[in-house]
Structure 1
Amino acid sequence: MELDLEPLNLPSDNERPSCVIAGPCSAETEEQVLTTAKQLAAKGCHMFRAGIWKPRTKPGGFEGNGEKALPWMKEVKEETGMLTATEVATPEHVELALKYGIDILWIGARTTANPFAMQALADSLKGVDVPVLIKNPVNPDLELWIGGMERINRAGVKRLGAIHRGFSSVDKKIYRNLPMWQIPIELHRRIPNLPIICDPSHIGGRRDLIAPLCQQAMDLGFDGLIVESHCDPDEAWSDAKQQVTPDVLDYILSLLVIRDEHTTTEGIRQLRSQIDDVDNELMNLLAKRMRICREIGVYKKEHNMTVLQATRYNEILEKRGAQGSLIGIAPECIAHIFELIHEESVRQQLEIVNQ
């Protein structure tokens, strides 16, 4: 996958993640915006974010001040020198944001999930040279995420980045949105020159989860962070539980360990060689397993048996899950692996039975 990209050229701090965008969930009042911005600037933050238009899941909540708040963002830039960033969801938002000199635009998860909305935004961005960051769609659909980026890129926007904010799920567990790190990892594999920024605020949904999520993002080689920070988070008008003060954010960033993804030593080369050998063994074992599955398919066809044997499948998942626990692998991981193996086994047996 190739996009016609240019570097984002955003300010960075060599001692921290290369890109940190911080500020409140919503631009509530002029005082709140300027107070937060000045506190963040004093901590060395170069980019200020705030929601001008707030898409809420249900009506009745604070939905942003709209155009009224844009002069506050302009004042932030004038008084602190910080770049400003906000979310846009309609062509009108784009027009107003650019009119008031917003430096960075981002597109939210609900908008990314709608190809019609993405095309409308792409049309409104033609001829505009501004960095655009695109959040993943609410559902775990990598193709939809990439499709949204392609639409914006084809409009001539070359300074593109992705924001990983997690995915909605019925099974929330501890996170507001499940990280599902494998999806941004696959995005990086397919578009290696695309910067990916992590949004720990929306993944975690709780301020106590922000620090570990930031570190995990750095460990996975993410290019930066976008974090919600408020001068008085407990009194925030939206998403109060996931915002931190500028002081707390500064402390979190100061503790981050930034690892070098490009250093490759002889020791790691040898270990990777061992991994390659084991992977080859695994492939040979999988091939052997599928040969046996095909023999079972022939037997089922000859004896007029159904391909799917639910009792046997449940037995496999139960046994292998227990084995996984004994060897230090999460049962959920083992279950997922064997679900995929079973799906391929069933597919091959169906081909034989229906010949």
Structure 2
Amino acid sequence: MEKDILNNSIDRSWIDQLTKPLVISGPCSAESEQQILETARKLNNSYIQVFRAGIWKPRTKPNNFEGIGKEGLKWLNKVKKNTGLMVSTEVANSEHVKLALSFDIDILWIGARTTASPFTIQEIADALVERNDQIILVKNPIHPDIELWIGALERLFVKGIRKLGVIHRGFYTYNNPKYRNQPNWNLLLNFRDILPNIPVICDPSHICGNKEGILDIAKKAYHYFQYDGLMIESHCNPDSAWSDAQQQITPEYLLEMLKKLINVDKIHKNKKSLNSLRILIDELDENIITLLSERMNISKKLGSLKKLSDISVLQPNRWKNIMNKYLTLGKNLGVSEVLLEGVFKLLHQESIKIQNE
């Protein structure tokens, strides 16, 4: 499919009619009717338009809580009637879709694991035939694959869905000390270059995996990258949550956060551009530091193995071959030879020092 056809046919009316940024909030999982209704009542509908709760939870390992199931849809329906909030939940197969629609759920979102499976996306798209007015949000796949993400949108589009949006929940990277899921802001900019018309919602809860970083990520998304909305997990008693307790906040704290985000003076366009570029560089620098730590840990193991095998720490021929290989790679990528020589000499010296300890 031509991406211009998809981009130009997106129906943004459902989000453009809002006078404030779209905010979707509620617990990671529906646990009880009382928990759902109490959380919903505490959300301020001057700032939050949509209540969310996971009914079916795709977990990494078995024997964990995997959602309350169909019963939770009744609770969401009560939230809708009692509070006037729109309601939303995640769907992962055609049966979920049919059940959610039978309970008049306003917004369905497709999770990261599901987005990564074209067969499952097709099953969901087929279940949405003749539901052209349904709002569907598609989370990014776990790994940074733009074409896979766009492919999911195209499958839904072909079946007549026009009220589409995406949720940026970050991307899996092994052993990241700062994030549960790396933001990879630059990938999102590339995505928006391809599909600039599609609404983009940021999910700071899943990017951070903790309460402490949510405001910072939300600020970057809203102020500097001009996202259309936020999805933030909230719970009436986060510490007792059955899933992802560490990344859920109270409705009261959420309101404080949203006031700080929304009720501020607009940032000048040039400053916004400057800060967004600095954020991209900061993320790359954080990745470099993480990789350096991993590299030094491997150097320690290498030093121990060389001692056991009575091998000299310094290997001049290998060092020469490495430098030639990396200088050639750098030249192909447009990286200064002087810069690469300086960086790798420092890395080599530190590695030799560690191996000799």
Q: TM-score range by the shorter chain?
A: 0.7 to 0.9
AA matched with 2:103? Y
Which residue number in structure 2 is paired with residue 24 of structure 1?
Answer: 27
Residue 291 (structure 2) pairs with residue 312 (structure 1): no
TM-score by length of 2: 0.74
Q: Deviations along 1:114-137, whole A, 9 cap, x unmatched?
A: 000011111111110210000000
Which residue number in structure 1 is paired with residue 154 of structure 2?
Answer: 150
Which residue number in structure 1 is paired with residue 243 of structure 2?
Answer: 238
Aligned-residue offset at 1:240: 0.3
Q: 1:233 to 1:268 in 2, by over 3 A?
A: closer
Which residue number in structure 2 is paired with residue 122 of structure 1?
Answer: 125
Residue 211 (structure 2) pairs with residue 207 (structure 1): yes
Measured in 2, the distance between the counterparts of 1:183 and 1:259 equals 28
TM-score by length of 1: 0.74
Q: 1:117 to 1:78 in 2, by over 3 A?
A: same
Q: Deviations along 1:200-240, whole A, 9 cap, x unmatched?
A: 00000000010000001011111100010000001000000
Aligned-residue offset at 1:66: 0.5
Q: Deviations along 1:219-274, whole A, 9 cap, x unmatched?
A: 1111100010000001000000000000111111111156768x768x999x9xxx
Match of 1:70 among 61, 67, 73: 73
Q: Deviations along 1:92-146, whole A, 9 cap, x unmatched?
A: 0000000001000000000000000011111111110210000000010000000
Residue 254 (structure 2) pairs with residue 228 (structure 1): no
Match of 1:250 among 250, 255, 259: 255
**1:70-219 alignment to 2 at 5 Å?**
70-128=73-131, 129-218=133-222, 219=224
Measured in 2, the distance between the counterparts of 1:105 and 1:70 equals 12
Aligned-residue offset at 1:46: 1.8
Once structures 1 and 2 are overlaid, which stretch shifts more, 48-57 or 184-193?
A: 184-193
Residue pair 2:141, 2:171 contacting (<8 A) in 1 also: yes
- The residue matched to 1:9 in structure 2 has which SS? helix
Give me the identity figure in percent: 45
Residue pair 1:112, 1:137 contacting (<8 A) in 2 also: yes
Which residue number in structure 2 is paired with residue 291 of structure 1?
Answer: none
Aligned-residue offset at 1:309: 4.5
RMSD, aligned CA: 2.7
Residue pair 1:91, 1:120 contacting (<8 A) in 2 also: yes
Match of 1:7 among 3, 6, 12: 12
Residue pair 1:104, 1:130 contacting (<8 A) in 2 also: yes
Which residue number in structure 2 is paired with residue 303 of structure 1?
Answer: none
Measured in 2, the distance between the counterparts of 1:268 and 1:99 equals 44
Aligned-residue offset at 1:8: 4.7
AA matched with 1:209? G
